[in-house]
């Protein structure tokens, strides 16, 4: 067998918030409001998330930490898991994830690897892409039309679920 290089590329758009459709701006506003409910005394890094479901409902999340550090949970995962628990079978259309934190990179909020994996599986379960809107403190919003876009060479153990 000869060696080869596997390449991966993804497309993320950057748009000023003011140019987004109203539905996106509403979702971002909900995520910024949710960030106020972050409990992040240890990291001081606040994250807010808002998931818009296909029925128009919006489900919020904010990161919650614990003095036993690994027990904390990311904001977007709380939103996605809450949507699954409270609205089973209702697809998620879009998730806005934001950080107003002064220690966040001001022009980009990128979700952690664990949350990307969770968002990816939600997409796979519902057989429909989840639009991601990512914003820190700048006016610019990063947009990915699918979580899969952010998970190169994703974990995929096909026998696990059977």
76 carries an active-site annotation:
yes
- What's the min distance (Å) between Cβ of 31 and ligand THU? 11
- The single residue among 45, 82, 87, 149 that binds ligand THU, judged by CB under 6 A, is 45
Q: Is the dihedral of CA 158, 159, 161, 162 positive or negative?
A: positive
Q: Which stretch binds ligand THU (CB under 6 A): 29-37, 43-51, 84-92, 125-133?
A: 43-51
Query: What is the DSSP code string of the chain?
Result: ------------EEEEGGGS-HHHHHHHHHHHHHHTT-B-TTT----EEEEEETTS-EEEEE-B--SSGGG-B-HHHHHHHHHHHHSTTPPEEEEEEE---TTS-TT-----HHHHHHHHHHHHHHTS--EEEEE-SSSEEEEES-GGGG-TT----TTTT-
Q: Which is nearer to ligand THU, 19 or 154 (CB)?
A: 154
* CB contact set of 111 (below 8 Å; sequence gap of 6+): 74, 76, 97, 119, 132, 134, 150
- The single residue among 12, 20, 65, 81 that binds ligand THU, judged by CB under 6 A, is 65
72 interacts with ligand THU by CB under 6 A = yes
- What's the min distance (Å) between Cβ of 81 and ligand THU? 12
74 interacts with ligand THU by CB under 6 A = yes
- What's the min distance (Å) between Cβ of 5 and ligand THU? 29
* Contacts to ligand THU from residues 1-20, by CB under 6 A: none
84 interacts with ligand THU by CB under 6 A = no
Q: Which residues bind ligand THU (CB under 6 A)?
A: 40, 43, 45, 47, 63, 65, 72, 74-76, 111-112, 115
**What are the residue numbers of the active site?**
76
């Amino acid at each position: 067998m000869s060696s080869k290089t596997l390449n991966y590329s993804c497309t993320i758009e950057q748009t000023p918030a003011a140019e987004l459709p109203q539905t996106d701006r509403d979702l971002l506003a909900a995520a910024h409001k949710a960030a106020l409910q972050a409990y992040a005394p240890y990291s001081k890094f606040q994250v807010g998330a808002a998931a818009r479901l296909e029925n128009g409902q919006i489900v919020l999340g904010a990161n919650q930490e614990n003095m036993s550090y690994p027990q904390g949970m990311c904001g977007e995962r709380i939103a996605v898991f809450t949507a699954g628990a409270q609205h089973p079978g209702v697809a998620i259309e879009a998730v806005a994830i934001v950080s107003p934190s002064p220690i966040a990179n001001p022009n980009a909020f990128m979700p952690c690897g664990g949350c990307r994996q969770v968002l990816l599986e939600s997409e796979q379960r519902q057989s429909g892409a989840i639009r991601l809107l990512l914003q820190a403190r700048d006016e610019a919003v990063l947009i990915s039309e699918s979580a899969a876009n952010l998970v190169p060479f994703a974990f995929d153990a096909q026998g696990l679920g059977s």
